């Protein structure tokens, strides 16, 4: 059975993935930045009679990352799978981010994954085995307006995964990126609001982009996140895992469309679906 470390397990994909690995009998270190939020995961695990360990890990804090990885090694002696899942969303025009705001999104979504990856790799290299699984996004493959900063973090994660795939191949370590479309998690409730977005010139466009202020298109709130967990498990245990996993109908369809359509045609398609400043309702 594998020794697994997952970041961001207080809710969403991280919590569900922790339960998914635990159901297989893996030794799961479910980490979160605020362990006071562990109640929901503990209760879900207890309801199924599952065992898992909760550790504090804030991906933006190097000391916290090193401490958690040292704890895993002290208790389990190895680390087979690291899932870089922790992330924050942000929906606002690129211009409406102050420096500290976009740095925070990158620090969590990109540099956080690098910190964890750098902390686990010496152990995986010594073992000559391991799996790095990064939770990217459809937004990293098909970047969209008002998700520019978020999309840029997820594209960066995709690039890092590809580089890691080649660099780690000689050591028997595999890197994959999971690229989900929209799924019902806490990401909308947890996402960062920028100081300027409410009063910005983009506000009327943003309001039409997201009627009701939801982080996802209408209807997507009912999409069951389990397929994302299934993809994470496949990346962790398949003999020949893929490098990219598009998950969800929207992700599969849009990733395919972006690849097949000429660039200009794709851009025109998106522009036709965008609100304009003139059609204020």
In the bound complex, what is the minimum distance in angstroms from residue 6's beta carbon to ligand NAP? 10
- Closest residue to ligand NAP, based on beta-carbon distance: 12
In the bound complex, what is the minimum distance in angstroms from residue 168's beta carbon to ligand NAP? 21
Q: Give the number of other Cβ atoms within 10 Å of residue 274's Cβ.
A: 12
Of 137 and 155, CB closest to ligand NAP: 137
Residue 202 falls in the annotated catalytic set? no
Of 1 and 40, CB closest to ligand NAP: 40
In the bound complex, what is the minimum distance in angstroms from residue 220's beta carbon to ligand NAP? 7
Of 60 and 214, CB closest to ligand NAP: 60
- Which residues are at the interface with ligand NAP (CB under 6 A)? 7-8, 10-14, 32-34, 37, 58-60, 85-89, 108, 112, 135, 137, 180, 182-183, 185-187, 190
In the bound complex, what is the minimum distance in angstroms from residue 151's beta carbon to ligand NAP? 10
Of 172 and 213, CB closest to ligand NAP: 213
Active-site residue, from 150, 202, 209, 245: 150
Residues labelled catalytic: 150
């Amino acid at each position: 059975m594998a020794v697994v470390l997952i970041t961001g397990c207080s809710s969403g994909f991280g919590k569900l993935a922790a339960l998914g690995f635990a159901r297989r009998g893996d030794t799961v270190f479910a980490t979160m930045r605020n362990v006071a939020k562990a109640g929901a995961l503990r209760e879900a695990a207890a309801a199924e009679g599952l065992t898992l360990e909760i550790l504090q890990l804030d991906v933006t804090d190097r000391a916290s990352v090193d401490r958690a990885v040292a704890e895993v090694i002290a208790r389990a002696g190895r680390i087979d799978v690291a899932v870089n899942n922790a992330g924050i969303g942000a929906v606002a025009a690129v211009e409406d981010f102050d420096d500290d705001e976009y740095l925070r999104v990158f620090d969590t979504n990109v540099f956080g994954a690098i910190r964890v990856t750098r902390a686990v790799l010496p152990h995986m290299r010594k073992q000559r085995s391991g799996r790095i699984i990064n939770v990217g996004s459809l937004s990293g493959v098909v970047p969209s307006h008002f998700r520019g900063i978020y999309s840029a973090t997820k594209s960066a994660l995709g690039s890092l995964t590809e580089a890691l795939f080649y660099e780690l191949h000689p050591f028997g370590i595999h890197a994959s990126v999971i690229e989900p479309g929209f799924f019902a998690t806490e990401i909308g409730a947890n996402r960062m609001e920028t100081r300027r977005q409410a009063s910005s010139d983009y506000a009327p466009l943003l309001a039409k982009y997201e009627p009701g202020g939801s982080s996802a298109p209408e209807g997507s709130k009912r999409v069951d996140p389990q397929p994302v967990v299934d993809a994470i498990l496949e990346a962790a245990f398949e003999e020949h895992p893929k490098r990219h996993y598009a998950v969800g109908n929207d992700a599969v369809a849009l990733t395919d469309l972006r690849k097949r359509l000429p660039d200009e045609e794709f851009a025109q398609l998106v522009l036709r679906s965008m609100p304009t400043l003139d059609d204020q309702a």
